[in-house]
Amino acid sequence: MYRVIVKHQLLKWMACLCCLAAIGGIYLHIQSASMAVSASKKKIPIYSVERSDKVVALGINCAWSDEDVPKFLEILKAENAPATFFVVGQWAEKYPESTRMLFDAGHEIQSHSYSHPDMATLSREQIISQVQKSEQAITQITGVRPTLFRPPSGSYNDTLVETLEELGYYCIQWDCDTIDWKNPTPEEMINRVTKKVQPGSILLLHLGAQNTPAALPGILQELKLQGYKFLKVSEMIYPDNYTINFEGRQIPNSSPQTEISN
């Protein structure tokens, strides 16, 4: 009789364990689905663009000095390479002549914030202030409203990207960093770019970096030897009907490689 009772209890315990395991499995499934939905909603800037043609875009940040402006313009003209200058609003106000020179030479002037803060730490209202003050500074000098925004140091969050979209801006990052801000040698910068570049790449360079003027001709010439042509960032990205995958690559919706809808 005792053995029958023990066996009965064991069967009850086993049934309970099976129920708990089933409940746990359901919970994990719900959690995984929830995480997948949450991840799918994450806002990602544009790091590069899916292109069938061999084109790249030069994204040059302007937040330090303006001493290199004449040299940059000389090199870009010699290599027939249009560029996108992401300008801090305070830099534009401090160097209006240089800002105008860049624009008059045929390059585009886009926003890099007003005072170069960590955008991921700002409230929506503070983000709007940074964007609008930078926009005003740039527009007063060039007469053209910027539509692209590159976050200082690449720092962003969902609030930033969503707010930029509401203000009519595209959030732009990069997939090919020269790391010129670390002052590598020109040869190191050239090798780094040529190893990382791909069709639709967006490069990161800086005005005021120690060795960038010496590296820039080699970068442009090597890319041209590889068959690349240069576009401004606004010319290379898709203005609408696109998706952005988990790597930040902008893909036209006609492509099957879609991940996150715009």
Question: What pLDDT, on the 0 to 100 scale, is given for residue 258?
Answer: 38
Q: Distances in Å between the alpha carbon of 180 and those of 12, 49, 80, 209?
A: 68, 23, 22, 6
Give the mean model confidence (pLDDT) for residues 224-235.
98
Which CATH class, in words, describes the domain spanning 48-261? alpha beta
Which H helix or E strand runs over 111?
Answer: strand 108-111
Q: What is the DSSP string of 190-226?
A: HHHHHHH--TTBEEEEETT-TTHHHHHHHHHHHHHHT
* pLDDT bucket at 254, cuts 50 / 70 / 90: confident
Nearest to 87 by CA among 96, 74, 76, 79: 96
More confident residue, 3 or 65: 65
The amino acid at 46: I
> 4-27, pLDDT tens digit by residue?
443 445 445 444 444 444 444 434
Q: What is the DSSP string of 62-100?
A: E-S-STTHHHHHHHHHHTT---EEEE-HHHHHH-HHHHH
Percent of the chain predicted with pLDDT > 70: 81
The amino acid at 239: P
Nearest to 148 by CA among 250, 71, 31, 226: 250
Question: What pLDDT, on the 0 to 100 scale, is given for residue 262?
Answer: 52
Q: How many CB atoms lie within 10 A of CB 209?
A: 21
Domain ranges of the chain: 1-41, 48-261
Give the mean model confidence (pLDDT) for residues 25-35.
42
> 146-181, pLDDT tens digit by residue?
999 999 999 999 999 999 999 999 999 999 999 999
pTM for the model stands at 0.83
